[in-house]
Homo-oligomer: A and B are copies of this chain.
């Protein structure tokens, strides 16, 4: 096991009716701005609950943070926040609203230009922020990461900073999600775990099992949720899986990969593919191309998550990769670039971008532009 430091100070406030606790959770005497997406919270009753919980308190609202939040939009929120001397942000929405709010928090706290903060990779300072989560997927509600897009150049990069002070997770907000949203959310959670798990074996028995525990749970609840989308306990499991998939609890002392995310982000940046969907396309191909390096873990994964015990090592690895693709398809997602009308031009563009940046990704630092190209060719 590698040395590590784990600290996750976010207060997770989980369950039915917990939005009503907002007033006691947000410090008094702060200048509060609430950030929103496109308006779904008005249709699903969350906006009403938030406003009711904050009855008697003053706040301003910023609307319009889009999916894969654009720095161009967030700059407006930063300017408004500075003007209004905002010192506490509440994100009400999904991972995009949360990620965007993390950049707003940094932009208000610092003089640096917003995109420069993203390019630097971390925020030195942020004003405090918290969230009411409405779409379980990214894990942003309990980590310090944020992924921001720049529309004018079709770029998408991550930066890191503070965690939300608290996040309210009410599984009932999932009742109004579309089947595609749930599919992308489950895919996102599942893939987050794979990025931290399909690596070198034998680093930590316990972290392996905690990762497998999320994978097994997601595989189990996915078909049940499809049939019964308003089942409270299924949504609670879904929500908890998504949060714990990316809050550092399953990566204590172990290596990570993130190849699929690096390539998936490019698909989103260039084609607007939903994040969780882009991962479903890339992950099985990444497994195939890196199968020798990941042989042992793929065998363990196949056996423990999908019960694959028959056949030669090669056959079992092949079955594990196929089971992964089948799982993503069972969610209702396509898993091939061609199904999304994405062709060679994009593959060449991504290869070029990776090569130009001159950084290789993955657990072993061996995923160069050319390896990325191989992966993209494998999911054509």
Interface residues of A (CB under 8 A from B): 1-18, 171, 202, 204-207, 209-210, 212-214, 216-217, 220-221, 232-233, 236-237, 240-241, 244, 249, 252-253
Which one of B10, B11, B17, B237 contacts A206 once the chains associate, using CB atoms below 8 Å? B237
- Which one of A16, A210, A221 has the highest number of Cβ atoms from chain B below 10 Å of its Cβ? A210
**Cα–Cα distance between A221 and B204 once the two chains are bound (Å):** 11
Given known contacts A206-B244, A217-B209, A240-B204, A9 and B7 CB-to-CB distance under 8 angstroms: yes
Chain B residues closer than 8 Å to A12, beta-carbon distance: 4-7, 252
User: B249 touching A249 by the CB < 8 A rule?
Assistant: yes
Residue of B nearest to A207 (CB): B240
Q: How far is A210 from B249 in the complex, measured between Cα atoms in Å?
A: 11
In the complex the two chains form, is B212's CB within 8 Å of A240's CB?
A: no
Closest to A241 in B: B206
Instruction: Give the docked Cα–Cα distance between A311 and B9 (Å).
Output: 46
Knowing that A6-B14, A14-B252, A209-B217 touch, tell me 16 more A-B residue pairs with CB under 8 angstroms. A1-B171, A1-B232, A1-B233, A1-B236, A3-B17, A3-B18, A4-B14, A5-B14, A15-B253, A204-B240, A206-B237, A206-B241, A209-B210, A209-B214, A240-B252, A249-B249
Q: Show 13 A/B contacts (Cβ-Cβ < 8 Å), sorted by A.
A: A1-B237, A1-B240, A2-B15, A4-B12, A5-B12, A7-B9, A7-B12, A205-B237, A206-B213, A206-B214, A209-B214, A240-B252, A249-B249
Complex CA distance for A96 and B133, rounded to whole angstroms = 40
Q: How far is the CB of A131 from chain B (nearest CB, A)?
A: 14
Known A14-B252, A212-B213, A253-B15; judge A206-B5 contact (CB<8 A). no
User: Which residue of chain B has the shortest Cβ distance to A240 in the bound complex?
Assistant: B206
Q: How far is A207 from B12 in the complex, measured between Cα atoms in Å?
A: 15
Contact in complex: A7, B1 (CB < 8 Å): no
Q: 5 nearest interchain CB pairs?
A: A3-B15, A209-B213, A1-B236, A7-B11, A6-B12
Q: Which residues of B contact A7 (CB under 8 A)?
A: 9-12
Q: Which chain B residues lie closer than 8 Å to A206 at the CB level?
A: 213-214, 217, 237, 240-241, 244
A236: which B residues are within 8 A, CB to CB? 1, 204, 253
Chain B residues, Cβ within 8 Å of A210: 209-210, 213
User: Cβ of A6: which chain B residues have Cβ within 8 Å of it?
Assistant: 11-12, 14
Distance in Å from the Cβ of A209 to the closest Cβ of chain B?
3
Distance of A252 Cα from B5 Cα, bound (Å)? 22
Q: Which of A11, A14, A206, A232: most chain B CB closer than 10 A?
A: A206
The chain B residue sitting closest to A18, CB to CB, is: B3
CB contacts (< 8 Å) of A237 on chain B: these are: 1, 204-206
State the CA gap A158–B145 with chains docked (Å): 38
